[in-house]
Amino acid sequence: MMQELEHLLRECNIEFDAQDHRIMCFPHIINICVKHVLTAFSGINLADLADTFVGTFADNGDVNIDEYLEALSNDPIALGCQTVKAIRASGLWRDEFTHIIRSCNSSGLFKFQGKVIQIPEYQLLWDIATQWDSVYFMINRLRAMRVVCFFL
């Protein structure tokens, strides 16, 4: 495959040696970048962040900067990972999680903004170190299941 790339590039007058060059796997590079961003996000200095976002949130009356900074100080990504780990720690916990969903759905106990809602019988998703988008899917599933987590 690399020889074919070398041939195609040389046709375009681009020097490339298939023996001495490697092309990194794009998803692997994205995974490394995402992990660096998440690590930096988890270790931010909240005083610096407050100074940065004061101008951003000043025009938006919907955002309380103190609540936002407090939420960040709790490291929401790590908290989400711990929640998923605790619920998925055993088959009994997973079964209980599903039981809570079923019983609260049938009883109409799940409410969001005053309305009764039905929660799909999903399981929570792990953050998998080798899959760069697993944090995204874990957070989205946690958001979808957040009503259930309040019952635990």
Compute φ and ψ for 73, nearest 5 degrees: -65, -20
**H or E element that contains 48:** helix 46-58
Residue 113: exposure state from Cβ atoms within 10 A (0-12, 13-18, ≥19): exposed
Amino acid at 42: S
Task: State the virtual CA torsion across 129, 133, 134, 136 in degrees, nearest 10.
Answer: 130
123-151 confidence digits (pLDDT tens): 889 888 777 788 889 989 988 888 887 66
15-51 confidence digits (pLDDT tens): 888 877 766 677 778 878 888 887 776 666 655 655 5
Kindly state the greatest CA–CA separation across the chain.
70
Q: Considering the domain boundaries, does residue 38 fall inside one?
A: no
Q: Considering the domain boundaries, does residue 94 fall inside one?
A: yes
Share of the chain above pLDDT 90, in %: 16
Q: Considering the domain boundaries, does residue 37 fall inside one?
A: no
Q: Considering the domain boundaries, does residue 4 fall inside one?
A: no
Q: Considering the domain boundaries, does residue 144 fall inside one?
A: yes
Q: What's the average model confidence in pLDDT over 97-105?
A: 92
The count of structural domains within the chain is 1
Range of the domain at 150: 75-152
Q: Considering the domain boundaries, does residue 141 fall inside one?
A: yes
Q: Considering the domain boundaries, does residue 3 fall inside one?
A: no
Q: Which two tokens stand for residue 3?
A: 């020889």
C-alpha 149/C-alpha 5 separation (Å) is 51
Q: Considering the domain boundaries, does residue 97 fall inside one?
A: yes
